[in-house]
Amino acid sequence: MPLADRIRPQTLDEVVGQQHLLAPGSVFRNIADSGQIPNMIFYGPSGVGKTTVARIVAKQAGKELHRLNGTTASTADIKQIIAELDTFSGAGGILLYLDEIQYLNKKQQQTLLEFLEDGSITLIASTTENPYFYVYNAILSRSTIFEFRPVEPQEVKRAVLRAFEKMAGEMGYPIHCPDEVADYIAQSCGGDVRKSLNAVELCCNGTGFDEGGEEKTITLERAMQVAQRSAMRYDRDGDAHYDVMSALQKSIRGSDPDAAVHYLARLLAAGDLPSACRRLLVIASEDVGLAYPQCVAIVKACVDSALQLGLPEGRIPLAQAAILMATAPKSNSANLAIAAAMADVEAGRYSDVPASIKDAHYGGAAKMGRGLSYRLPHDYPDHYVAQQYLPDSLRGRVYYQYGPNKTEQAAKAYWDGIKARHKEGEK
CATH code of the domain containing 210: 1.10.8.60
pLDDT for residue 191: 83
The secondary structure element, H or E, covering residue 341 is: helix 333-346
Q: Based on the domain organization, do 191 and 135 belong to the same domain?
A: no
For the cut 70, the answer to whether the pLDDT of residue 427 exceeds it is no
Determine, yes or no, domain membership for 138.
Answer: yes
Mean pLDDT computed over 167-178: 91
Is 71 among the domain residues? Answer: yes
Average pLDDT over residues 151-176: 91
Considering the domain architecture, whether residues 216 and 305 belong to the same structural domain is answered as no
CATH (domain of 245):
1.20.272.10
Largest CA distance in the chain: 106
Q: Are residues 139 and 158 in the same domain?
A: no
Q: What would the mean pLDDT of 390-397 be, rounded to a whole number?
A: 93
Cα 137 from Cα 186, distance rounded (Å): 37
Look up the CATH number of the domain holding residue 412. 1.10.3710.10
Q: How far apart are CA 118 and CA 81, in angstroms?
A: 15
Beta pairing class for 64-69 and 121-127: unpaired
Tell me if 317 is assigned to some domain. yes
Which are the contacts of 368, defined by CB distance < 8 A and separation ≥ 6? Answer: none
Regarding whether 251 and 192 lie in a shared domain, the answer is no
Mean pLDDT (whole number) for 174-181: 91
Q: Based on the domain organization, do 35 and 74 belong to the same domain? A: yes
- Give the mean pLDDT of 328-345: 95
Domain hosting 71: range is 18-147
Residues 349 and 394 in one domain: yes
Q: Which of 78-82, 380-384, 404-408 has the lowest mean pLDDT?
A: 78-82
Same domain, 246 and 283: yes
Q: What is the pLDDT of residue 411?
A: 95
Q: Domain check: are 37 and 126 in the same one?
A: yes
SS3 of 7-40: the string is CCCCCHHHCCCCHHHHCCCCHHHHHHHHCCCCCE
Examine the fold and report which residue of 81, 115, 147 is the final residue of a domain before the chain moves on.
147
Element (H, E) at 342: helix 333-346
Taking 90 as the threshold, does the pLDDT of residue 259 lie above it? Answer: yes
User: Which of 122, 147, 172 is the C-terminal boundary of a domain?
Assistant: 147
**Least confident window among 22-31, 37-46, 351-360, 364-373:** 364-373
- What is the count of structural domains for the chain? 4
* 211 lies in the same domain as 103: no
The pLDDT of residue 265: 93
Give pLDDT tens digits for 104-142: 888 888 888 888 887 788 899 999 888 888 888 888 988
Amino acid at 398: V
Give the sign of the dihedral formed by CA 233, CA 235, CA 238, CA 239.
Answer: positive
One domain for residues 222 and 251: no
Q: Are residues 23 and 134 in the same domain?
A: yes
Give, in degrees to the nearest 5, the angle at Cα 361 between 357 and 363.
120
**Residue at 66 is within a domain:** yes
* Per-residue pLDDT tens digits for 288-330: 999 999 999 999 999 999 999 998 999 999 999 999 999 999 9
- CA dist 9 and 48 (Å) reads 12
- Residue at a domain's end among 302, 327, 352: 327
Q: What is the pLDDT of residue 231?
A: 47
Phi, psi dihedral angles at 43 (to 5 degrees)? -120, 125
Provide the Cα torsion 58, 130, 117, 39; round to 10°: 20
Q: How far apart (Å, rounded) are the C-alpha atoms in residues 20 and 149? A: 9
Rounded to whole angstroms, how far apart are CA atoms 216 and 222?
A: 12
In a domain, 7, yes or no: no
What's the mean per-residue pLDDT of the chain? 89
Where does the pLDDT of residue 417 fall: very low under 50, low under 70, confident under 90, or very high at 90 and above? Answer: very high
Supply the CATH number for residue 121's domain.
Answer: 3.40.50.300
Q: What does the pLDDT read at residue 91? A: 57
Mark whether 43 and 143 lie in a shared domain.
yes
Nearest 10 degrees: Cα torsion 361, 367, 370, 372: 100
**What is the band of 284 on the pLDDT scale with cuts at 50, 70, 90?**
very high
Closest listed residue to residue 51, CA positions, set 100, 108, 89, 94: 100
**pLDDT value, residue 110:** 83
Question: Within a domain: residue 82?
Answer: yes
Residue 44 lies in a domain: yes
For residue 234, being part of any structural domain is answered with no
CB 39 within 8 A of CB 123: yes
